Amino acid sequence: MEPEVYMGGIAAVATTAVGAGLSIYQGVQQNAAARAQAETTRSYGQILQAEANREALRIEDDGNRFAQKQKMMYIGSGVEYGGSAVITIAQTKKWAAAEADAKRKRGTALMDYHNITARVQEGRGRAALVSGFASAGQKIYSYADAKGWIQ
């Protein structure tokens, strides 16, 4: 075999191998990046939920403090604590509880949204990984077919 032909064959095999390897490497890297992004997305969702829960506790605390202040104002003004005063205070507490519950539900919804987004990101990463291996296989198959090794 002539040295030039032999070297050309080695170069073609090397080029194919490098191309296949780079396809796999690219898929692996895209998958790793997607997994890191998904983890960040999940963490952000957890932070949003924790903030919502903290805000809900603040709303409940503010509502209870205001209800206590209302009670003291009624008592201080000589109004007997009962009847409409009790209803007003109960409504204040009910409003605060409803607002706090809405804040918690929003936090849970945000966390769920970020978890779903993270799963989509992970799926895209897996797809890139599979695509990298498929591309590598296609390059090797094409080379083998061009060489007549596949019947």
pLDDT tens, position by position, 16-71 = 999 999 999 999 999 999 999 999 999 999 999 999 999 999 999 999 999 999 98
Query: What is the arithmetic mean of pLDDT over 79-102?
Result: 89
Total residues belonging to the chain = 151
